[in-house]
Amino acid sequence: MTTNSSVTVIGLGLMGQALAGAFLAAGHPTTVWNRTADKAEQLVGQGAKLADSAGDAVAASPLVVVCVSDYDAVRELLEPVGDRVGGRVLANLTSGTSQGAREMAEWAEAQGAAYLDGAILAIPSDIGADAVILYSGARSAFEPHESALKVLGAGTTYLGADHGLSSLYDVAVLSLMWNIMNGFLQGAAMLGAAGVDASTFAPLASKGVETVNTWLAGYARQIDEGAFPALDSTIDTHLAAMEHLIHESEFLGVNAELPRFIKAMTDRAVSDGRGGEGYAAMIEQFRKPSAAGDRT
């Protein structure tokens, strides 16, 4: 009979509790630790072992999963017990930056540990089901624990050896999320000024998102190939429509900062001679660093 490997989970916020719960449900002996021990009570009732200290938690398992507030908190917890992490795989599922991930990997490897950086693209209730969780780091660190990590979500994905990839993918998806939501809010604000409920707008907005989704693969090919044929409409055509959005927003007394910002970037693309190309050519504007005056 195959025995499931033991796992440690450090950090028992809502997400950490969900991670530990998924390991327990899958039959993995699970050690947990949190600064405030009362957050472990329910997990202990499900069979988890509560470690007396962060060092004991690290020493308890070959795979140590960390999910806390930020990378500073990770280092604050692990650096004092660095002498106990050697020979283990640290899987850090804390949100952070690619630079922070690479620095964390250097520290872990200096202690003799292997390091995986991870990004959870899900909410706690998705853990153990269809959660998408990304991992980056040495394949030799991922593969021995792949079966254990997969119990956290059907969307478990290994990205490659660069420890920073998970964080980069994470913020790329966040950018997509915020832009979609902000576009919906802009539209809902305008329609609301005309007495239309957001609930009435939502179904049509969803259809619009679905339509844009069908364009992404083609845009991706154009970006990778560096050629931007105007298969549907040109940037010049988009620019004219942006004027309508700004006008309607201002006429209705709705904030026009977002559409004005988008138009300003599009104006620069036209000034660069890309007005006759397809919208994917806007990638060149996003590739440029922000002007000093634009930084906050």
Question: Distance between CA atoms of 56 and 12, rounded to whole angstroms?
Answer: 16
How does pLDDT run across 55-67, given as a tens digit for each residue?
999 999 999 999 9
Q: What's residue 3's pLDDT?
A: 72
Q: Is 295 exposed, middle or buried (0-12, 13-18, 19+ CB in 10 A)?
A: exposed
Stretch 4-17: mean pLDDT: 97
Neighbours of 169 (CB within 10 A): 18
Stretch 37-42: mean pLDDT: 97
Stretch 238-247: mean pLDDT: 98
The answer to whether 180 touches 209, Cβ cutoff 8 Å, is: yes
Q: Where are the alpha helices (DSSP H) in 62-127?
A: 71-78, 98-110
pLDDT for residue 2 is more than 80: no
The residue type at 194: A
Distance from chain centroid for Cα 27: 28
How does pLDDT run across 222-233, given as a tens digit for each residue?
999 999 999 999
DSSP designation for 6: P
Q: Mean pLDDT in the chain?
A: 96
Question: Distance between CA atoms of 57 and 50, rounded to whole angstroms?
Answer: 8
How does pLDDT run across 132-148, given as a tens digit for each residue?
999 999 999 999 999 99
| CA-wise closest residue to 141 among 120, 163, 169 | 163
The answer to whether 58 touches 80, Cβ cutoff 8 Å, is: no
Q: What's residue 290's pLDDT?
A: 85
How does pLDDT run across 260-283, given as a tens digit for each residue?
999 999 999 999 999 999 999 999
The pTM of this model reads: 0.92
Give percent of the chain above pLDDT 70: 98
pLDDT for residue 156 is more than 50: yes
